[in-house]
Chain A
């Protein structure tokens, strides 16, 4: 096995700008793996970062982790704050814990895996162009309101592990005009937002998302067999123009 070039950075007491400068310098220096220790609330880690680097974050990063990020894989051994994966382009965030509001806001590509729960507005405004880019957000636990609101593309998968009902907050997929939200088990009708519609989850859907489930389980050491059935609800747009009937021309 070839040794990866690893750089270790102690983030204790460092402001986010010099921390990001050190990360960028390490990537420019050819680092394949960066380990950040003692991370405590530094915002914008990996913001705008490009390249194929594996970043392990030990601690709790601050808001906008991996914002505009393009390429890197970040493994977070802790919770994350507000909007990890905000407008992320490609790459991956694997969060061993929970995250705050607006997770994967406007995400354009790549994957965000959250072991536990997320706050409000998860996956809001996620985008996609054809099949070339398909952002994926997987949440192991549950989510608060407005999950997948205004979605224009991508996949939100919510597994509801350890919950009686995967989700009990309302406003799921309001204004959704592309992409899909897949939720483990049944979803009460009153939780759906305007423009969102429930569809039957069938074998071909399972075939499509099985690789995502397997990958998620691998990262968090779960048995994928538990999740490989059709006990899901698929939520997708009622139409591609949910607001077309709201307006009349002057």
Chain B
């Protein structure tokens, strides 16, 4: 091989003075970095993914992991990553597949948006003392209400309301499929959303029987592969989501590597054991906006118009008119997934280059819907790279009704964002179907962690709102006056409809 090997990504070291030779690193590393030879633990650094499982489990803090232990000649254009990608493709002639979300170091708009707070002229609100209204309804809202006086003089609502989901906090967990992630991860999150009064998506891998007790908190997904979709599945969900696109890979379908298709996954998806689960790029019964209407109505008809239907699209250049089309299609909510959205597996070139940031997508969709007078027709859910309660508050101020989190929820379960989700070896028991690894998550404990994260963000959101003198999420929604842009150019500020800091 004239190309030789590329330098290892990480170097693993054991402080032999600290090490008590307990072997927990060997047991915990599913990538096979450690093995014992006679009485010594040997290290194969090249296998390390920096998932930090060994570091977390080492009782003596004896392990160190160093990134990029070998330097390339530094170069501003021909970066290490670019050179290595070319070497990989020179060897294979293949598409580079990657996990997790966009890994490029490009500016994050959230970090250049600043929130407002009250000083003197209007008082801030103490959420400890005053009620903060975070309850959010997802679904169509009537443009006007018709009321009627009953015979005994009461007022009754005459307008027929469309089904809505009632959220106690505007944070939902997005769709990650059974198959991409383990059953114990799903169970942990399902228990957490039930406890915190919110919802989670099932992804398109069907619904495992173990999740039935949480079905009134689950949004079932219908994607282009139609995996796991039958009438029972649709009836169990609190809402149904049609996935058209995903922020991590707009324009292409899903790909669950055959390594993860064990018997359980094969059964719920109804595909051969060990074969790749392929979701095509389009839905093959949707080739136009009229066809989308047909599927939405088909799903509503199948479930007797009792459930809201969401449509999820990737944030792409024309996201605003597309969302406006969806708002006119009988859909109850549009989910916009920004280009930082995560994934179990996506071609790297898509993950890192296709789509637009969620911040601008929320702003332009909200604006377009307002301009057309149809904002009440549809709820807007933002997703793809929501990392904190600050991102959440900014998303709502830009015009979202609620957000989906994905990676953040996985981090609360132990994920260290090593990005090797497609290998079925996740040492944290998340992106794997191997029973021994999956059992590293105790769903009861996992649920506490996920619920803690949602509670903490909810508390922080209340504090942020209180500081801004806002006591209802409705008053924050689309309230771009409470945002200022810092180091954003004029064009971007215009799209976001946000003033620069100081103005």
| A contact set with B: CB distance below 8 Å | 16-17, 20, 24, 43-44, 47-48, 50, 63-64, 67-70, 82-83, 86-87, 89, 102, 105-106, 108, 121, 124-125, 127-129, 133, 149-150, 152-153, 175, 177-178, 240-250
Contacts and interface: CB of A to CB of B under 8 A. Distances in A.
Contacts of B294: 43, 63-64, 82
B302 interface: yes
B284 A243 contact: no
B270 A153 contact: yes
Contacts of B266: 129
A241 B231 contact: no
Contacts of B94: 245-248
Contacts, number: 141
Nearest to A108: B270
B271 to A, nearest CB: 4
B294 to A, nearest CB: 6
Contacts of A241: 258, 274-276
Contacts of A106: 225-226, 229
A175 B280 CA distance: 10
Interface in B188-209: none
Nearest to B229: A87
A177 B92 contact: no
Contact of A125 (B92, B280, B301): B280
Contact of B276 (A20, A64, A149, A243): A243
B97 A248 contact: yes
A244 B97 contact: no
Nearest to A179: B272
Given A47-B298, A68-B234, A87-B229, A243 B278 contact: yes
Given A248-B89, A248-B92, A44 B272 contact: no
Given A48-B302, A248-B94, A129 B267 contact: yes
A177 B225 CA distance: 13
A87 B220 CA distance: 15
A43 B268 CA distance: 28
B302 A178 contact: no
B98 A250 contact: yes
Given A177-B271, A247-B347, A108 B230 contact: yes
Contacts of A129: 266-267, 270
B230 A240 contact: no
Interface string B292-313: 0010011001111100000000
Contact of A17 (B225, B285, B305, B422): B305
A124 B279 CA distance: 11
Interface of B: 88-89, 91-92, 94-99, 225-227, 229-232, 234-235, 255, 258, 266-267, 269-272, 274-276, 278, 280, 284-285, 294, 297-298, 301-305, 347-348, 419, 422-423
Contact of A240 (B225, B232, B255, B272): B272
B272 A152 contact: yes
Given A48-B301, A249-B97, A89 B348 contact: no
B13 to A, nearest CB: 24
Contacts of B270: 108, 127-129, 133, 152-153
A14 B18 CA distance: 80
Given A243-B255, A246-B94, A67 B278 contact: no
B302 A68 contact: yes
A67 B96 CA distance: 37
Contacts of B255: 243, 247
A125 B284 contact: yes
11 contacts: A43-B301, A48-B304, A70-B231, A87-B226, A89-B231, A102-B284, A106-B226, A125-B284, A127-B269, A153-B270, A245-B94
Contact of A153 (B225, B272, B276): B272
Contacts of B422: 249
Contacts of B271: 127-128, 152-153, 177-178
A20 B97 contact: no
B96 A247 contact: yes
Contacts of B301: 16-17, 20, 43-44, 47-48
Given A47-B301, A83-B285, A152 B230 contact: no
A69 B348 CA distance: 39
Given A43-B301, A250-B419, 9 more contacts: A20-B301, A68-B231, A70-B231, A83-B285, A102-B284, A127-B226, A153-B270, A177-B271, A240-B258
A17 B330 CA distance: 14
B285 A82 contact: yes
A171 B348 CA distance: 28
A149 B279 CA distance: 12
Contacts of B348: 250
A120 to B, nearest CB: 9
A244 B259 CA distance: 10
Contact of B284 (A24, A121, A247): A121
Nearest to B94: A248
B298 A43 contact: yes
A121 to B, nearest CB: 5
Given A68-B230, A106-B226, A247 B95 contact: yes
A204 to B, nearest CB: 20
Contacts of A242: 276
Nearest to B303: A48
A174 B131 CA distance: 58
A245 B258 CA distance: 12
Contacts of B280: 125, 150, 175
Contacts of B96: 247-250
A169 to B, nearest CB: 15
Nearest to B286: A102
Contacts of B235: 48
